[in-house]
Amino acid sequence: MTERKKLPITRMGLTHHVEITTFDAPVEVIDIYITTGTYDNGALGELFLEGWKKEGLGAYDDWATASSILIQSGYEIDAWCRKFAFTRRPPAGRCKGDERLPTCMSITDYVARWIGLHYGSEDLKVFLLGDKG
């Protein structure tokens, strides 16, 4: 395994809020905050998920932490996004947050596509958006 590349102590990043209204009954509104940290060159270095319920996002936050470790160890953002984009598992629904992503098939789907649109290559963006890009 490649050695992890440490992030700077003070770093830039983005925080994004998405509201997912589930398709299935009982209809639920899920609030999620995606927070990223970047290296000095603007490349993604870490990912955090917060929100939804008082107890947090549980396994989704663990997935974000594991993803951060992979990315810091050299795993390509494009490969990571292609692996998780369009994954299907509840909850799925209509999304308010990024007009390019009006629906999601799962939380991992939304996060992967949003990350890809902000940190991925142009080829990845075409893959994620299709004709809409």
pTM metric for this prediction: 0.93
Q: What pLDDT does 131 receive?
A: 64
CB 73 within 8 A of CB 2: yes
Percent of the chain scoring above 90 in pLDDT: 81
pLDDT confidence of 24, banded at 50, 70, 90? confident
Is 133 within the bounds of a domain? no
User: Percent of the chain at pLDDT above 70?
Assistant: 93
What mean pLDDT comes out for the span 20-40? Answer: 93
Q: Is residue 5 part of a domain?
A: no
Q: Given this model, what pLDDT does residue 53 score? A: 64
- The answer to whether residue 116 is domain-embedded is yes
Q: What share of the chain is helix, strand, coil (3-state, %, to 5)?
A: 35, 25, 40
Question: Does residue 7 form part of some domain?
Answer: no
In a domain, 10, yes or no: no
Return the DSSP state at 58.
T
Q: What is the pLDDT of residues 107-132, one digit of tens each?
A: 999 999 999 999 999 999 999 998 66
Question: Does residue 130 lie within any of the structural domains?
Answer: no
**Sign of the dihedral through C-alpha 92, 96, 101, 102:** positive
Residue 82 resides in a domain: yes
Q: Is residue 129 part of a domain?
A: no
pLDDT tens digits along 33-54: 999 999 999 999 999 999 866 5
pLDDT at 21: 95
Domains: count for the chain: 1
Candidates 80, 118, 83; CA nearest to 98 is: 118
Tens-place pLDDT, residues 72-91: 999 999 999 999 999 999 89
Range of the domain at 100: 15-124
Backbone φ and ψ for 2, nearest 5 degrees, come out as -70, 145
Please, what is the end-to-end C-alpha distance for the chain in angstroms?
Answer: 35
